Every structure is written in structure tokens, then in C-alpha cells.
Structure 1
Amino acid sequence: MAALSLLAVTLLAGPAALRADPAPRAPGGFEGVASCAGTTCHGRMEADGAVVRQDELMRWQEPSTPGGAHSRAFTVLSYARAKQITATLGLGDPTSAPACLGCHTTPTDGRTGVRFLARDGVGCEACHGPASGWISSHYTVGASHAANVARGMTPLDRPATRAAVCLDCHFGSNKPGQFVTHRMMAAGHPRISFELDLFSTLQQHHDEDADYIQRKGRTDSVRMWAVGQAMAVNRALTLYATPKGTEGAFPEFTFFDCHSCHRRIYDAEDRTRTWESNPGRPIPAGMPPFNDENMILLAAAARVAAPGMAGRLDSDSRAFHAALARDRGAAVAAGGRLASTATALASALSATDGNGDTAFAMVDSIAGPTLAPRFTDYEGSVQGVMAIDTLLNALVKEKRITVGAAAGIRADINRAYAAVKEPNGYRPADFRASLGDAVRSIRALR
């Protein structure tokens, strides 16, 4: 892999590889993965650093775990599947197609230093921000996180900021090459699915030790999860209101629930109903619903952490679904109101303390009589089991549930994951039963 060869070169070069280029850097420039890979910084083979692990590059490159997914992002563009997708869409070579590079590499707007290589995939600066302003000062004696942020580092410790960065690729944005359309998925691109805290945990390359907590504070997983849901709702509706919301004479179907259309068609003497009524969607029978997975989970969070806004969210959500049955103009207007509510909720949830009691209450809210019936579709069910998984992990981290007790509950969660493993094998009844068992077990430990 290209990044591995860069790491080897930098290891041999030692600290000299970290010195600033003689020529002045452009403001906000991207320096590349190699600029972080010296043995005095993040390129060690052992996690024996005094302040940070210093083996972060090795963990980023780990080939067999989700933690190495970002480093593999460009490599997958050379695989047969990627070539088949771009050939179908007439996009040419996927390793140079703008529609692919916006998310399979670090997006730079051309502001790159001599060490930057697109083939390194989604590198350090894709998340932490262009390093030219802070790379030479962030490791100095007396450096602080606030000073690094002032010089251009992205403050990923802030849930809303992290969500905005992650959603660009894991949901979509208006930036070049950062929106997966229905045509792309029809050509073979995987469906987009994301949950902020769970995915952050999978990509975590640092230890949250005492030093980290002193510099940035302890990560509040419940707050991270809740804010991520609010930001995802806002992002979906904001994008829907742009020209991306349509494709020729059709709506852009990437915004709608895949499983509502991709079901078997029966032609028999007695009709076979292939969909379930959903109390959260006041739409005509048989109408494809807007993908409301994040709306459902945001409603659960709001009922616990921002109860004064929960009613407004429910009202705006129902109004948006109803407007979809009228026309696009009405839907865009209603979506704008719902997006504003989601933004307000993101702000309110960012200020909450996601302690153990909050996590327990959110588990109850997700599985409660009001929201549980809304898990009728594949995408919402996937988001639901990820939410319970995240909240269980938060309870373990806060020592409200022991590791041993969580291991017993994990069997029920794994059964729920199995029920949503892939769309064609989705089993809604099994999903709801397994999730219900997991929630009852968590509730009993409160």
C-alpha cells in the first residue's frame, strides 16, 4: 500500500522528515499522511508514547479491521466492483473520477504540499483539517488543543463539528464528489449508513486516558449519538431542498426508504401486502416514504434530553411526511421547518449531560410504545440496533453496567443485527423481538 511505503520512508528519515518545507506553506494547505508519520510523532510500531500512543498511523492502516477503512478508501477504487460501477455510469477510471475522489481520498481543493498523495485514501487531514497551519506547533511544549484549533485544526471533540465532517461522506454534501445518488447505488455502490458515536469508536486511533481528558474532556457517547442523529436529519433535509433532491422528472430516490420499493411483487388471487403501516408517516398507502431512520432516533433522544422540543419535532416530522404527498414545493417548505428544528435540537443536545440515567432513559424511549411501532422498515431498524449498541457501550463505559452483564445482553443485540444483516433477508418481526429482549435486559439492570 502506498501509505505503508511512505511510513517506511519516514521511519528511516526520522525527525528530519517533520521539518517544515523551505518554501512557505499556503494557508489551510494539506501536507499529506507522510508528514505525520515520523517516529517522533505518529509513526511508531509500538504504542509507547508519553502523551499520545504514537502508533496512530499503524492503526489507521490496519488491514483487517474497520479501523483501517479510511486508509483503504482509495485502494477499493481499483477493485472490479468500482470499475463496474463507473463503467455503468460512464464515469471512466474510478481512481480519477471526481464523483469518487470526493470521498475516497482527502478532499483538498488543490491546496496540497509536496508530500500529499491522493492514493493514501482518507488521510489524517480529512478529519483533523489541513495541517499547514498547525503541524509544526501542535507537538511543541506548551501547545494546547485550543491553540491548535485556532491555527486550523478541526475540533472533533465537539459533537456537532465531528458530525458535520463525518456526514460529508457518510451521508452526503453539496461539495464535489460527496453525494451518493440512487443511480450510483443501482450501479452497485453500497447503501449509505452511519451512526456518529459507533462509527467514531470503530475509527478511534487514540486512548482516552487522563492526559486526553485533561486536554479535550471525556467523550460523552450519549451526547455524541444524539447530536449525530440531529445533524443527520438536518443534512438530509437541507440536501433534499437543493437540486440534488430531483433527478430529471423523478425525485432523487436516495432520500427515500430503499426497502419500501425493493420488495417482491406478487400476482395472485388474494392480494399480498408487502408493507407495514407506520404511525409516524401520514402518507397514502403504497407511497414510498422518505427515509426517516434518523428522525425516529432523534425523537427518542428529544423525549429524554429535550422534552420541551419533542412535541415540535413530532409535529414537524408528520407535517413533512404529509407534505410529500402534495408536491415538492410543499415538501421542501415543510422540510425546511423540520431542518431548523433539528438544528435547534443539535444545539440543545450538545449542552446536555449524557450520564447513565440519560442512557437508560433513551433505551426506554427507543423501545417505548410510541416509537417502537415506527421500526417497520429496514433502514430504521439498522439505525435502531446501532443506537441500542451505542447506548449499552456508554453504560459500560460509565460503569453503570458491568462488562459481564453487557456480554449477556450482547447475544440479543447480535440477533437483532442478524435480522438486519442485509436488506433481502430483513426480518422485521425477529428484529423487534430481539431488540425488545435486549432492552428488557438493559432495563432490568437500571
Structure 2
Amino acid sequence: MLSWPLILLLLVLLVPIDNSASSTAARRFEGVASCAGSTCHGRMEGDGKVVRQDELRLWQEPSSRGGAHSRAYAVLSSPRGRSIAATLGLGAATGAPACLGCHATPGGNRGERFQLSDGVSCESCHGPASGWISSHYAMPATHAGNIAQGLIPLERPAVRAAVCLDCHFGSAKGGQFVTHSMMAAGHPRVSFELDLFSSLQQHWDEDADYARRKGRSDSVRLWAVGQAQAVQRSLGLFARSDFGMRGVFPEFYFYDCHSCHRPIDDGPAQRRTFETNAGRPIPFAAPPFNDENIIMLSAVAQVLAPGQASAFDAASRNFHAAMGKGRAEAVAGASRLDAAAGALGDAMARQGYSADTAFRVVSAIAGKTISPRFTDYAGSAQAVMAVDTLLNALVREGRVTVGAAAGIRADINRAYGAVSGPKTYNPAAFRAALGQAVRSIEALR
């Protein structure tokens, strides 16, 4: 079900990462306590002169969606966590490598103050701190210098997406891939949307000082680059035999769950419970690859990279068609689509955006080309998240007033209601609800 409880379950997953500046093997994870002083990030109020300095409070807030990362390790001891581990024969989830890769910060080189129970800690996202913790706040220090010492430049959309995707989609680094077996044992379905997840975790203020050091962020760019990176991550893992296959069967994690998990009736009056999809030329009744991010990238390409949109859509159709031919053909198709998504991501990361861009992308999502592709729950859930995310971006950036956005909240909520759960999902009803929500946003233009 697409709801805050589901998003909370998704947000308990994040990432230990390889540092792009230098290998983490030489870096040491110092632990949350090393960041927690009242003169650093442990204040009770966000009244610091340069950064808020209450980041620790926000990270561990027990009632906040932003506090989900601090609860990631504790989730392993919950009844659900214990049940999943027992079903899979992992032993205690709190010690299982398959779980700790995303529910903790399992760096091999740990300082004295490191605690595994801290869960997804500061260093899970910002990188092991031994190289920069003693100097990043000093007056001579620069952001570029901190990055050279191992700080992860999360202000860069592609870097942030790669960090988040390691657990919010999966990676090949070990203990960071949610298999179909894990989901069968009770793990929630994994979904990803970079701008939404960033806003839920935001513990920084984008003031003049932030802009001077890191530049201004753009929510549309963040969302678009996140979609491109999600497509690439999915295809890259699928193409690997050690991830894409499980014996003679494909790894069903990559496919649309609800294409198979539908009611079955073998009576003479049974009715088909799925719609065919022109964007996926696969054999009739074959399980489709989960293309929720592919659909979103197709929509944004129409607006931000129209010159590359047709090539991407052709690669997408060819990839789906290859699913009906064989593993080798599917892997080759995945490679071509991966390259097309990468080209789109690079183009979108470089270009500037106007005040009109978010409106145009919202319109494209519910437009004549994209809307017919909303035939399944996962893609539809991603679409309504995207529309809401882009509306919030318009509000944050002063392009739509808070009052105007509140005035159309009922239409957005109806679209959410249409994907409130896979059992009640109806494609035609969803498309109608999404169309009305988008028309309401367009009226604010």
C-alpha cells in the first residue's frame, strides 16, 4: 500500500558506500557519537550559524519519518524482522550480513565509538569520517577539501541517487539486495523516488551559505536524475547472472509483483485481470519487467531531452520485446536501454530548468503518450508519487503558493486513494484520478 507506513518501511533501508574520492578501505567509521557534541550536531535547536547543528535530533526523532534511519537496526529485532530471518534460515537478523548491509553501517574499519546499533548513521550517507571529521568545520576548510578527505558530495544529484539506491533499490556490494525470497518471507516491496526521500530526510537549510558552498538544488533535476539512475541500477543488476537469475528461474525481484500476485479463478466464466500494455511488447500473459521508473523517465525525457526521448522509448520497447526471446537477448536489450538511460541522466544533470519545467513534466506524466502505460500498480504508484513530489517542488521554489496547493489536495489524495493498495487497484479508475489531479495542478500554472 502506498502510504506513510510503507514509505517508513522503505526508509529504514540505506547504504554503506564506496567513496568516489578514495577507497573506503583506508577510511575508518568513527560512529554517531563522534558527531554528537553540542558544539557540533547535537544541539536541541537548529540555531547554528553555518549549519543547523540539531541534525542528530532530527536523525533520531522517534515519531518522525526523518528518524527512520536511526531505527533501521532496531527493526531487525521486531517480530517482522525475526520472522523474515527465521523463514530464510539466516539466524539472528541483527547479525545476518544479508540484513546488515542496509540496516546498519557495516564498515570493516571501525573506530572505538562506532556502534552497529546506531543503524543507518551519519557515515552511511556522508562517508567514513576519519579523514575529515577533525577538520571539516575549521575556518580554512573548504567543501572541496572535505570531499578530497572522503566526505560524500550529496549535493550532486547523481552522487546522492547512487548512495540512496544502494539500499533503496539494491547494489552488488554485498548485503544490499532484496531478493524475491526476502519479499516472499515478508520484506516490503522496494520502491524509490529521490526527491521525496530527500525531503523526508532533510536536516539542512538551503540558505545563502549553503548555496555559496554547494550551489542551489533543483527538485525537478533531482527527481529526473533519480529516475534515470534507478533505471540504470535496475538494468545493471538484472544483466548480471549472479543477480538476474536464480537457478533455472529469473530473479523475480525485477518483475512487476502484481502481474503474478493476482486472484486466480479457473472457472469457465473467469475474466482476465490485467491489461495489455503497448509500452511492453511482451508475449501475452508473460510477467513484465517492473518498469515504473522507465515510464517516469519516458515522461521526463519528452520535456527535458526531446531529442533523445524517441531513442530511449525505442530501447525500452526493444528490451521488453527481448523478454520473449531469451536471457541473452534480454541482457543485450538491458545494456542498450541502460546506455540510453545514462545518456538521458547526463543530459538532465547538465541543463538548467525554467519556472515552467515542473508544470510541463506533470502534464507529460498524465499525457496521451504516457497515461496508457499505467496498467499496473507499481507504475501507477510511482506516477502519483511523482506528481505530488513535483507539486511540492513548485511550492518550495515559490512557483505555487501553499494555499493554492492546499486547495487541490483533495484531488491529489484521490489519486493516492486509487493506489491505496494493490488488491483494490483499477487501472481505468487510477488514470481518471491522476488526470483530474494533473488538471488541477495545470490550472495553477
Instruction: Assess if the C-alpha contact under 8 Å between 1:276 and 1:376 holds in 2.
Output: yes
So what's the TM-score if we normalise by structure 1? 0.93
- 1:190 aligned partner, one-letter code: P
Counterpart position of 1:268 = 267
Q: How far apart in 1 are the matches of 2:319 and 2:106?
A: 33
Cα offset, 1:355, TM superposition: 2.9
Which of these residues, 201, 212, 220, is aligned with residue 222 of structure 1?
220
- 1:406 aligned partner, one-letter code: A
- Residues 111-126 of structure 1: pairs in structure 2 closer than 5 A: 111-126=109-124
- 1:68 aligned partner, one-letter code: G
- Residues 183-202 of structure 1: pairs in structure 2 closer than 5 A: 183-202=181-200
Please give the per-residue CA displacement for 1:289-336, whole angstroms capped at 9, x wherever unaligned.
Answer: 000000000011111111111011000000000000000000001100
Which of these residues, 128, 131, 154, is aligned with residue 130 of structure 1?
128
Instruction: Assess if the C-alpha contact under 8 Å between 1:27 and 1:132 holds in 2.
Output: no
Stretch moving more, 52-61 or 351-360? 351-360
Cα offset, 1:208, TM superposition: 1.4
Please give the per-residue CA displacement for 1:200-222, whole angstroms capped at 9, x wherever unaligned.
Answer: 10001111122111211111000
- Residues 371-386 of structure 1: pairs in structure 2 closer than 5 A: 371-386=370-385
Q: How far apart in 1 are the matches of 2:225 and 2:234?
A: 14
- 2:200 aligned partner, one-letter code: L
Q: How far apart in 1 are the matches of 2:348 and 2:106?
A: 29
Cα offset, 1:431, TM superposition: 2.1
Please give the per-residue CA displacement for 1:78-133, whole angstroms capped at 9, x wherever unaligned.
Answer: 0111111111111000000000000000131x111111111100000111111111
Instruction: Assess if the C-alpha contact under 8 Å between 1:160 and 1:228 holds in 2.
Output: yes
Q: How far apart in 2 are the matches of 1:57 and 1:42?
A: 6
Q: How far apart in 1 are the matches of 2:288 and 2:91?
A: 33
Counterpart position of 2:328 = 329
Cα offset, 1:443, TM superposition: 1.1
Instruction: Assess if the C-alpha contact under 8 Å between 2:414 and 2:433 holds in 1.
Output: yes
| SS of residue matched to 1:95 | helix
- Kindly report the root-mean-square deviation, in angstroms, between the aligned alpha carbons of the 2 structures: 1.2
Q: How far apart in 2 are the matches of 1:352 and 1:366?
A: 20
% identity of equivalent residues:
67
Instruction: Assess if the C-alpha contact under 8 Å between 2:282 and 2:324 holds in 1.
Output: yes
Counterpart position of 2:279 = 280
Cα offset, 1:26, TM superposition: 8.0
So what's the TM-score if we normalise by structure 2? 0.93
Q: How far apart in 1 are the matches of 2:78 and 2:178?
A: 18
Unaligned runs of 5+ in 1: 1-24
Counterpart position of 1:22 = none
- Residues 229-378 of structure 1: pairs in structure 2 closer than 5 A: 229-242=227-240, 243-378=242-377
Q: How far apart in 1 are the matches of 2:354 and 2:71?
A: 35
If asked which structure has higher relative contact order (CA below 8 Å, sep 6+), I would say 2
Q: How far apart in 1 are the matches of 2:257 and 2:25?
A: 44
Instruction: Assess if the C-alpha contact under 8 Å between 2:155 and 2:217 holds in 1.
Output: yes
Please give the per-residue CA displacement for 1:328-355, whole angstroms capped at 9, x wherever unaligned.
Answer: 0000011001011111111111012233
- 2:266 aligned partner, one-letter code: D
Unaligned runs of 5+ in 2: 1-23
- 1:253 aligned partner, one-letter code: F
Number of corresponding residues: 421
Counterpart position of 2:207 = 209
Instruction: Assess if the C-alpha contact under 8 Å between 1:86 and 1:93 holds in 2.
Output: yes
- 2:230 aligned partner, one-letter code: A
Instruction: Assess if the C-alpha contact under 8 Å between 2:411 and 2:440 holds in 1.
Output: no
Please give the per-residue CA displacement for 1:167-209, whole angstroms capped at 9, x wherever unaligned.
Answer: 0000000011000000000000000011000001000111112
- 2:347 aligned partner, one-letter code: A
Instruction: Assess if the C-alpha contact under 8 Å between 1:105 and 1:118 holds in 2.
Output: yes
Instruction: Assess if the C-alpha contact under 8 Å between 1:221 and 1:354 holds in 2.
Output: no
Counterpart position of 2:90 = 91
Instruction: Assess if the C-alpha contact under 8 Å between 1:34 and 1:115 holds in 2.
Output: yes
